[in-house]
Structure 1
Amino acid sequence: MSVYNVHERLLTAKASEVGALIDTLSSTEDKLWAHDEWPPMEFDRPLSVGAVGGHGPVRYTVVAYVPSTWVRFAFDGPRGFAGFHAYAALAVDEDHTLLRHTLAMHARGPARLTWPLLFRPLHDACLEDSLDRAESANSGVVARRARWSLYVRMLRRFLR
């Protein structure tokens, strides 16, 4: 099963400012990952090509990194996840930047069931929370805060 999943938010900020949020991923000053509500993104070293880690049961390796612009992670797990996810800061004009998270993978074996039933709803909620953090970091407010569905709240309670 092919999966292509995109989350994005238009931010009123320069690309360099939004890209700087990407640079904080997995650090003690992480301003992008929603680590207050989700398992933290952690690596075996600072964000750089070759860093290995992930969040919760999702494991990956940094395979490409352009500071203040873009980072790509290749999945190492869970079983059946074959592909990548990435954050990119894309300049729209001098004062607006699109922060985009892209996940592209082939779900094989058990992931053909776990992706749509478990991981996708949690992933979608986590990414919207991450984009809320980015918006708040750049403007101090979130125009329309993401809300978890009843299904996501039930999954989170069940998985605790």
Structure 2
Amino acid sequence: MVHNVHERRLPVPAAAAGELIDSLAGPDDRLWPRHRWPAMRFDRPLGVGAAGGHGPVRYTVEEYRPGGWIRFRFSAPAGFHGYHEYEVIPEGDRDCRLRHRMEMTMGWPAWITYPLFYRPLHDALIEDSLDVAEAGVALARARPRRLGRTVRVLRSMAGVLRGRVPARSASHYVKADPSHGGR
């Protein structure tokens, strides 16, 4: 069972943070980090039944409470059985917490692909999303978070597999091993 939670305290009322959720996948999306990750896209406007996802991760909007909560049910990759969601939790009149939670069980091949590939990418993407949210409510520019080495390597490998990056670019992040000719 995977239980993965990321959250950020925001210095705004819950209603203001709820607008971030409502903007998902729209032309003025103020929550998804499109500057660095595949955009979240759906086959129709955000609402229950909208199908889509980001990159190879596919899901359908299962439940949606405008201004406060949205849940997406996974349909791909293979072996992802569960959901991910954004939720706004009020903390008094002037503050709130924006939480992203993923709950899933893993079937084949996710019990291999999730810990080795998807988890590091997911964690980096969601932290970027919370940075975008924080910048959006503070009306400030999001400071770009430096991606860790593992995430940079995985993103390069994914680009090579999709044919978007020349293979030699992926080796940029891999330290040379003298026992294999130093390349």
TM range (shorter): over 0.9
**RMSD of aligned alpha carbons:** 1.3
SS at 1:128 equivalent: helix
Counterpart in 1 of 2:166? Answer: none
Shift of 1:146: 3.6
Counterpart in 2 of 1:94? Answer: 93
Structure 1 residues 70-91: Cα deviation after superposition (integer angstroms, max 9, x where no partner): 0000000000000000000110
Counterpart in 2 of 1:8? Answer: 7
Residues 10 and 137, structure 2, Cα contact 8 Å, conserved in 1: yes
The percent identity for this pair of structures is 49
Distance 1:91 1:33, change over 3 A: same
Query: AA paired with 1:60?
Result: Y
Q: Distance in 2 between matches of 1:139 and 1:103?
A: 26
TM-score norm. by structure 1 comes to 0.96
Shift of 1:147: 3.1
Q: Distance in 2 between matches of 1:6 and 1:147?
A: 20
Query: AA paired with 1:75?
Result: F
Counterpart in 2 of 1:63? Answer: 62
Residues 132 and 142, structure 2, Cα contact 8 Å, conserved in 1: no
Q: Distance in 2 between matches of 1:157 and 1:52?
A: 27
Residues 89 and 99, structure 2, Cα contact 8 Å, conserved in 1: yes
Counterpart in 2 of 1:122? Answer: 121
TM-score norm. by structure 2 comes to 0.84
Q: Distance in 2 between matches of 1:13 and 1:59?
A: 31
User: Which consecutive unaligned segments of at least 5 residues does structure 1 have?
Assistant: none
Q: Distance in 2 between matches of 1:52 and 1:110?
A: 23
Residues 59 and 76, structure 1, Cα contact 8 Å, conserved in 2: yes
User: Which consecutive unaligned segments of at least 5 residues does structure 2 have?
Assistant: 160-183
For residues 2-151 of structure 1, the aligned pairs below 5 Å read 2-141=1-140, 146-151=145-150
Greater share of strand: 1
**Matched positions, count:** 159
Residues 135 and 142, structure 1, Cα contact 8 Å, conserved in 2: no
Distance 1:52 1:143, change over 3 A: closer
Structure 1 residue ranges (4+ consecutive) displaced by more than 4 angstroms after TM superposition? 142-145
Residues 79 and 107, structure 2, Cα contact 8 Å, conserved in 1: yes
Structure 1 residues 20-62: Cα deviation after superposition (integer angstroms, max 9, x where no partner): 0000000011000001100000000010000000000000000
Shift of 1:141: 3.8
Q: Which structure is richer in relative contact order (CA contacts within 8 A, separation 6 or more)?
A: 1
Distance 1:145 1:91, change over 3 A: farther
Shift of 1:140: 2.8
Q: State which drifts further: 137-146 or 149-158.
A: 137-146
Residues 132 and 142, structure 1, Cα contact 8 Å, conserved in 2: no
Counterpart in 2 of 1:159? Answer: 158
